[in-house]
Structure 1
């Protein structure tokens, strides 16, 4: 038996009683079509189950009505929070979302693939937490495709960036620990590759300096944004002759690694040692005890990124080069007074 051919634009035009060109304009939004014609063509397309050929539209240079979201770590809770928020915002502008995992596609011989990806597959791209080589960034900057980046801090770039305030967020976290009477405060670094950890370390150092406390290199360890590495680093911190009474980790995932090392040592959180993270991933509120952390507004940042991208897709001027959102200190039960110290006045935060 001969296989039945799929529904084509010709079939839709015939049922709607219009020309193929008119049907194409009515469905694509390119060119003028009356509301009556649009309704008639759309009804015919729905009745026939017509699905537009996105590849054909791409080859003709037409809009695809697709926004690409490029990520490099699908296992990251932070990336997932941003992708979820972006999907909601993309729906609001009547576009579709396509997720591209660029892990292992950051440069070198992958430039051709990147170039192909940038042209025609989608109307614009949002990069979420990119860890990219300098040549990869240079390729993006030379692209004519509308691009917006989220939380890129490694280098200055001509591309628009939506980001959170890492420096002041970290300063607030450490200042809060100082208010609780802590003076031996450790910092667990993340990877320097994205620049976020360096900014959070700058805020950590600034808060200590404001309190007249000298920076102690012994109290800074590597975590590389990984739970296991943070656990190993915390073991070393707890083995010091004068161990910290509080730990500020540059991410929630690392803070949870700190939890494991602290319990392994037989210590209590926060009675013996306090812990603060950064990001407020879903696991933070469910940890035992619930984790005090810094929150970046994922939804507001996603909205700003999509709005900025849509301006550029439409050829309108961008709002500004860098859009920065303040972080919020969320106090939970993983922080308390320093051992043998009375808590000072709590401020700048909300209790959850």
Structure 2
């Protein structure tokens, strides 16, 4: 009767009753709901071991403070929901291209009884997304490099308005030669921040100088390289908006090597507001992403998908805000470089 009401086979209902892990999260939730409706109570003396609920959290980079903040948010939400979080890397290295092999990875997760997976800042192929769907694995991505199709559920921040706010702050301090040292060109978040930067310049009547726009990566070394190139220009910028905090610190080091002071000679703005920002010297002005909240929302959204719920939107953006510290200052009235 329970199996019929839940629309599953008798063996599947039996697996749920006996705490077996090889049942999808959505099926297990449906059978559990029917059991509650029937007022099912386990027989006295019978040991029923509830299967552990597990979600996979996949990072392409586990070294950054950005990743640690996301991890903290996901695990805190998991603890509240009684869900264990397993942290892993994509099966294939980042250097070898998109996450592969698709079906092998999906089936491994499916056979392990996973609730689904959260993928952070990785490139996903359409084949991978389709393999997860075939395996019945809910998928949520955080700050994806790309979205193979619009139906993919994602969690991010208001990158465009963050880029706008960072650039408007520098414009308000009198800067007009403002550079953008962004992340990978193909990254959606980098593009959105670049568009916000351009919108602020356009609103202020300033043309975008192609020489002042560079794309690299989100690591310290990327910022150092881009900062070095920008400050070597015949007409170098007086301010640089970097793609994230780590890159901003690299820009600050490039300035130091040229004998420039931050913020007296060069203003620098980052993005993320990780622990690096407040501990740098000088403390970094940056755009705050609510990284822990993004992790919490991603885990809760994954559990809703696993329970078969319909979402109001496939994409959630949490608000950013500018945090002004000591790395930005008004451009000097006299002098210049």
TM-score after normalising by structure 2: 0.81
Residue in 2 aligned with 1:79? 67
The 5 A counterparts of 1:1-352 are 24=18, 30=32, 31=35, 64-102=52-90, 104=92, 107=98, 110-121=101-112, 122-140=114-132, 142-152=134-144, 154-155=146-147, 156-340=149-333
Mean CA deviation greater in 21-30 or 262-271: 21-30
1:324 aligns to what SS in structure 2? Answer: strand
> 1:130-183 CA deviation, whole Å, 9 max, x = no partner?
223454344345552111111125234311111101111100000010001111
Residue in 1 aligned with 2:8? none
Aligned equivalents of 1:118, 1:318: Cα separation in 2? 23
The verdict on how the C-alpha distance between 1:23 and 1:321 changes in structure 2, with shifts beyond 3 A counting, is closer
2:124 aligns to what SS in structure 1? Answer: coil
Q: Shift in Å at residue 108 of structure 1?
A: 7.7
Q: Shift in Å at residue 26 of structure 1?
A: 12
Q: Shift in Å at residue 25 of structure 1?
A: 5.9
TM-score after normalising by structure 1: 0.78
Larger Rg computed on CA atoms:
1
Q: Shift in Å at residue 104 of structure 1?
A: 2.5
Please tell me the root mean square deviation across aligned C-alpha atoms, in Å: 3.0
Report the number of matched residues.
Answer: 305
Aligned equivalents of 1:225, 1:26: Cα separation in 2? 42
Q: Shift in Å at residue 201 of structure 1?
A: 0.7
Residue in 2 aligned with 1:11? none
Aligned 8 A contact 2:269 2:327 in 1: yes
Mean CA deviation greater in 199-208 or 94-103: 94-103
2:241 aligns to what SS in structure 1? Answer: strand
2:201 aligns to what SS in structure 1? Answer: helix
Aligned 8 A contact 1:72 1:103 in 2: no
Q: Shift in Å at residue 221 of structure 1?
A: 2.1
Aligned equivalents of 2:43, 2:70: Cα separation in 1? 35
> 1:21-61 CA deviation, whole Å, 9 max, x = no partner?
9994699995469898599767xx9xxxxxx6xxxx9xxxx
The verdict on how the C-alpha distance between 1:123 and 1:268 changes in structure 2, with shifts beyond 3 A counting, is same
Aligned equivalents of 1:243, 1:171: Cα separation in 2? 21
Aligned equivalents of 1:144, 1:73: Cα separation in 2? 26
Q: Shift in Å at residue 120 of structure 1?
A: 3.0
Q: Shift in Å at residue 107 of structure 1?
A: 4.1
> 1:218-261 CA deviation, whole Å, 9 max, x = no partner?
11123322221321221121122221110000111110100111
Aligned 8 A contact 1:66 1:123 in 2: yes
Aligned 8 A contact 2:90 2:99 in 1: no
Aligned equivalents of 1:134, 1:21: Cα separation in 2? 32
The verdict on how the C-alpha distance between 1:142 and 1:271 changes in structure 2, with shifts beyond 3 A counting, is farther
Aligned equivalents of 2:45, 2:200: Cα separation in 1? 64
| Structure 1 gap ranges (5+) | 1-19, 46-51, 58-62, 342-352
Q: Shift in Å at residue 109 of structure 1?
A: 5.8
Residue in 2 aligned with 1:15? none
The structure, 1 or 2, with the larger RCO (C-alpha pairs under 8 Å, 6+ apart) is 2
Aligned 8 A contact 1:23 1:41 in 2: no
Mean CA deviation greater in 74-83 or 109-118: 109-118
Q: Shift in Å at residue 305 of structure 1?
A: 1.5
